[in-house]
Amino acid sequence: MKHEFLDHHREGNSLVHLFDPRLKLLMMMVFIIMVVTVSYERKQWLLFYLVIPIAFAGLSRISILHFLSKLFKLYPMIFLITILIPFFPLPNETPRQFFGIAISISGLQKFFLINAKSILVLFISIVLTITTDFMMLLKGLEKLRVPPIMTAIVSFMYRFIFLLIDEVERMLMAYQSRYLRLSLGKRLKIIANMIGMLFIRTYERGERIYLAMESRGFQGTIHTLNDLRWKKTDTIAAVIFLSILLVPLLSIPF
């Protein structure tokens, strides 16, 4: 594959690499549920849950800086979405003044909680998906009884990304070789035409792929040569993971 920016660490023999994709998906779902349900009063639990993705990152034998670089590419979007929350108090709340700016304490708490949870969810998702072949992840979703139409759509979208990148690179190369010194207005007009042409080519390619699949009797199920096998180590890892995940619950008084 020419472009491997999505899963170039999928090959490996670390413990995390060898986990069954179904186990990774289930771990992700359970971890996300546990993190999302943490209230602000128990915010210290989030520090404990941070240990889990860090431990997975260490076991994967991939530099922690690589995971952090992926995280910092995705996190700014969440930060920008939530940045205004502290400035909108509740109806019966009296905001506090900080340097002449009215800040809602409840909004500040929500801002902290949303961002902390988002970082944990992104971190565990990046660690577990980056160490797994994308097609094996889809196979795991299929084994977990996710509707085949959904896995098929995601599969074709994933494959189409690389075709689209190649198409854009060819168009940019042609543009750079033909138009060296043009005014900004003319360049913007050419780029707008390129975007229109890219849409038309993408649509036509999709039509050709659909006709080719239909003529070959595609029924919505993607068959692969490698099948998934649940091992004893996966069961042990699942038990250990759940045990660690439930440790904070022991601090709740009954």
Calpha distance 247→120 (Å, rounded): 17
Q: How far apart are the first and last CA of the chain?
A: 55
Q: What's this model's pTM, rounded to 2 decimal places?
A: 0.77
**pLDDT averaged over the chain?**
83
* CB of 159 closer than 8 Å to CB of 142: no
Q: What would the 3-class secondary structure string for 179-192 be?
A: CCCCCHHHHHHHHH
* CB of 138 closer than 8 Å to CB of 222: yes
- Mean per-residue pLDDT for 33-51? 90
Helical (H) or strand (E) element with 58: helix 44-59
- What pLDDT is attached to residue 195? 85
C-alpha to C-alpha distances, 14 to 19, 59, 240, nearest whole angstrom:
9, 7, 17
DSSP 248: G
Calpha distance 133→225 (Å, rounded): 14
Q: Note the Cα 94 to chain centre separation in Å.
A: 38
With left for phi above 0 and alpha for psi between -120 and 50, is residue 251 left, alpha or beta? alpha
pLDDT reading at 240 higher than 90? yes
- Mean per-residue pLDDT for 29-46? 90
pLDDT reading at 76 higher than 80? yes
pLDDT digits (tens, 9 = 90+) for 103-147: 888 888 889 999 999 999 999 988 888 888 888 888 888 888 888
Under 8 Å CB-to-CB from 95, ≥6 apart: which residues?
A: 89, 102, 103, 104, 105
**Nearest CA among 130, 140, 141 for reference residue 56:** 130
**Nearest CA among 37, 52, 53, 105 for reference residue 252:** 37
- Mean per-residue pLDDT for 201-213? 84
pLDDT reading at 83 higher than 70? yes
Q: Note the Cα 195 to chain centre separation in Å.
A: 26
Which phi and psi angles does 219 have, rounded to 5°? -110, 10
- What pLDDT is attached to residue 252? 65
Q: Average the pLDDT over each of 13-27, 71-85, 87-101, 229-243 and give the range with the smallest value.
A: 87-101
Q: Note the Cα 80 to chain centre separation in Å.
A: 18
Share of the chain above pLDDT 70, in %: 92
The DSSP string of 164-225 is HHHHHHHHHHHHHHH-SS--HHHHHHHHHHHHHHHHHHHHHHHHHHHHHHHHTT--S----S
- What pLDDT is attached to residue 112? 92
